[in-house]
Structure 1
Amino acid sequence: MPDVDFDYDACLTACARGDQRALRQLYEQDSSRLLGVALRIVRDKSLAEDIVHDAFIKIWRGAGSFDPGRGSARGWVFSVTRHLALNVVRNHYREVPLGDEHESVSTDSFEFGARPGQVHTCLEQLDPARRTCILHAYVDGYSHSEIARKLDTPLGTVKAWIKRSLAALRECMA
């Protein structure tokens, strides 16, 4: 149960001075609620736990930069966690998962050379709008946002099309 009399300002001040007990007290006070915040955003417990860990490191290192004139200490602690979680989500949507088999592929070992028509055959099996998204992303180098504007399609739809199309291409190429 949270201590309603917990002094967040004093705790952050102590953290800024290097008082590890203060960080431990802050952890005991709010780690479970911070985990809940991160979990609601990233929807993965293991990832949320990593975010809370990183948040406490950031809180420890940045405690001296907390400015009580800009808001509450508790709010700052929660915003550090929330921003880290949101950054993870944003960065996840920028990644293009290729799978382990693509990590250190040399040009010689790539199978496109052995079956040059297979890529085209697999692309032809995609819905035309989805095929266009893939080509804009991987041939033209457009970002998801640029594709959404170019096709006058919601960004979430473009992201979903690309994700599903990559999965379909991966399956077709296997």
Structure 2
Amino acid sequence: MYSMINNPEEKPEELALDALFKEFYDRLVYFSLQLVRDQAQAQDIAQDAFIKYWQERDYVLANKVAVKNYLYSTVRHASLNVIRHSKVVDDYLLQQGTDEPEEHSIMDAIISSEVIAELHAAIDALPENYRVVSVMSYLEGKKNQEIADELGISINTIKKQKYRALELLKVSLSPELFGVVLLLDTASF
């Protein structure tokens, strides 16, 4: 499944689980959060999905796609169960005229969490100064002047660093995802 350098104290299965957790936990929390709208519940659901996977790992195919599908499916079902049993959410959903999220909104949530994860990975790969400015601008939604004031550098430096970061992101991201970054960029002016 995942190959890693063996630590004599840890078993290969545990290392593989750790790698899975590092790769998918944030995505699963984000996916669940879009459904349950509660950070703590979303984190619990994502953690429970890994526990359930660990307990049932012998019944899940040992390839990345099967494990990913299993985890997303587990989080989806657990999130929907939380929605069904939460009075506050039930009242909200009744006011909205629906009993549970539509199937396309669930797919949108999965896609959105994957896009966010890919965007974070691309930004994390940027050089330090570009990364800091990009996070503040594209992920935190801060305006150029706010970033300049916070970092104590000129607004022209911010603009240059954003431009250079965009050039690097253009190379590393798909055209569609780069388009999302450009949309985020226009929102920060």
What range describes the TM-score normalised by the shorter chain of this pair?
Answer: 0.3 to 0.5
TM-score under structure 1 normalisation? 0.42
TM-score under structure 2 normalisation? 0.39
